[in-house]
């Protein structure tokens, strides 16, 4: 049996194994670990009496954990066994996802989501540094798009396990347990696929290839704030319209499916037209979708908003990280940690403000319009920049 298992693994090329491990890692640790909350939020409102302010605070706690995790991962220096750190973070993500099924109350739910956000940051930073570097070393950097597609796959799975076929409108506990079980399965599969040799997250940047990060970091924070309102409350917005309930599953599924090819698409466009120009296009598309969800209303408008969100937010995430690494001469760990921290701060503030404004105004219109305006501002912060000392 052991020999058959080894033969099966050896039949897959190292690059395919690394890309598959990356896909499963992001599907579980980010797609489910972070975004399952979106389709479950209205269920918790119905089954546990969660009001918009409390829902926003729990979401903000998750993103606060993500912010702290990004800072720790970015400042951690050399890590001799990234594989074990990554598997441990995935395990914590699985446990905290399942723990949300318990009737803990708002303070403890917030604490659980904080721990889950911490784990998600280590998953994203660690997996991206490990998998992307390994794919580059193997001469297959194009397979990084498969790795980043994992977020869309996880969002798609979160839509399916929260669908009426598996859960009643208020059976939030069952959905969280499904998410925890799938994430636990991912831990086993990722452990089987990832190489066992020790790796370091640290890199040695080539000399003389420095650019400015300030505006890019700020723009990345705008992305975090702007996308998260729709990403967190899209299903809750649908739930407020009785006619929209039938569409909850497929609209959230649209986000996941659109996200799957988005990194490949926007990365290709960035290579052809320049990262700054393509960043602007994608941010404006996303801002249009967010504004549409506020101004038009109805299932069709929210469906288009879901398409705009899914088609851009992971592509923008990858574009920003790639450009930051380029401007820091390849120092991926520090650049990724700084960018992810800015992103985390933005997405921590977004849900908290949205929850307060929703309870104050009685709708999600103003939070969505503010988010759209922040995205527009972030679109024009990034400028194309040639690096110093002859770098491209």
- Highest mean pLDDT pick, 37-41, 181-185, 272-276: 181-185
pTM, two decimal places: 0.86
Mean pLDDT of 215-227: 94
Separation between Cα atoms, residue 92 and residue 116, nearest integer Å: 7
- Please give the structure tokens belonging to residue 192: 């089987």
Asked whether the beta carbons of 39 and 87 are under 8 A apart, the reply is no
| CB neighbourhood size of 130 (10 A) | 25
Q: Dump pLDDT digits (tens) for 285-300.
A: 999 999 998 887 778 8
Residue whose entry in the numeric block shows the structure tokens 């399942």: 98
Beta-carbon contacts of 325 under 8 Å, excluding residues fewer than 6 positions away, are 331, 332, 335, 336
Q: How confident is the model at residue 203 (pLDDT cuts 50, 70, 90)?
A: very low
pLDDT at 391 (0 to 100): 39
pLDDT at residue 153 greater than cutoff 70: yes
Residue 267 has pLDDT above 70, yes or no: yes
pLDDT computed for residue 109 by the predictor: 97
* pLDDT one-digit tens code per residue, 25-59: 999 999 999 999 999 998 898 888 889 899 999 99
**Is the pLDDT confidence value at 207 over 50?**
no
> CA-CA distance, 370 to 359, in Å (whole number)?
16
> Is 324 within 8 Å of 338 (Cβ atoms)?
yes
What's the rounded Cα separation, in Å, for the pair 65 and 112? 10
Per-residue pLDDT tens digits for 360-375: 998 899 999 999 999 9
- Largest distance between two CA atoms of the chain: 63
Those residues whose C-beta lies under 8 Å from the C-beta of residue 8, and which sit 6 or more positions away, are none
């Amino acid at each position: 049996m052991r020999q058959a298992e080894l033969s099966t693994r050896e039949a897959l090329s190292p690059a395919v194994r690394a890309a598959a491990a990356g896909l499963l890692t992001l599907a579980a640790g980010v797609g489910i670990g972070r975004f399952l909350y979106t389709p479950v939020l209205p269920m918790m409102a119905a089954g546990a009496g969660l009001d918009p302010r409390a829902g926003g605070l729990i979401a903000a706690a998750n993103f606060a954990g993500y912010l702290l995790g990004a800072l720790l991962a970015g400042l951690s220096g050399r890590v001799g066994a990234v594989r074990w750190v990554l598997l441990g973070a995935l395990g914590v993500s699985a446990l905290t996802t399942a723990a949300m099924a318990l009737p803990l109350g708002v303070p403890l739910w917030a604490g659980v989501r904080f721990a889950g956000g911490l784990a998600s940051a280590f998953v994203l930073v660690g997996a991206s540094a490990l998998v992307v570097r390994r794919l580059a070393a193997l001469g297959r950097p194009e397979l990084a798009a498969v790795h980043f597609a994992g977020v869309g796959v996880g969002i798609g799975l979160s839509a399916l396990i929260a669908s009426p076929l598996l859960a009643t409108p208020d059976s939030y506990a069952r959905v969280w347990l499904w998410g925890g079980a799938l994430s636990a399965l991912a831990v086993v599969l990722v452990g089987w696929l990832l190489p066992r040799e020790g790796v370091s997250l640290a890199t040695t940047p080539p000399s003389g290839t420095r650019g400015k990060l300030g505006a890019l970091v700020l723009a990345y924070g705008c992305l975090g704030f702007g996308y998260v309102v729709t990403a967190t409350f899209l299903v809750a917005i649908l739930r407020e319209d009785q006619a929209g309930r039938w569409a909850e599953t497929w609209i959230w599924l649209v986000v996941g499916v659109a996200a799957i090819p988005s990194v490949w698409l926007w990365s290709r466009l960035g290579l052809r037209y320049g990262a700054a120009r393509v960043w602007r296009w994608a941010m404006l598309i996303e801002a249009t979708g967010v504004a549409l969800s506020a101004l038009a209303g109805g299932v069709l408008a929210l469906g288009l908003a879901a398409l705009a969100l899914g088609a851009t937010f992971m592509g923008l995430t990858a574009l920003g990280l790639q450009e930051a690494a380029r401007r820091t001469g390849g120092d991926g760990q520090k650049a990724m940690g700084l960018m992810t921290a800015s992103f985390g701060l933005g997405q921590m503030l977004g849900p908290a403000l949205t929850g307060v404004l929703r309870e104050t105004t009685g709708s999600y219109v103003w939070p969505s319009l503010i988010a759209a305006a922040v995205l527009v501002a972030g679109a024009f912060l990034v400028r194309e920049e040639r690096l110093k000392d002859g770098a491209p």
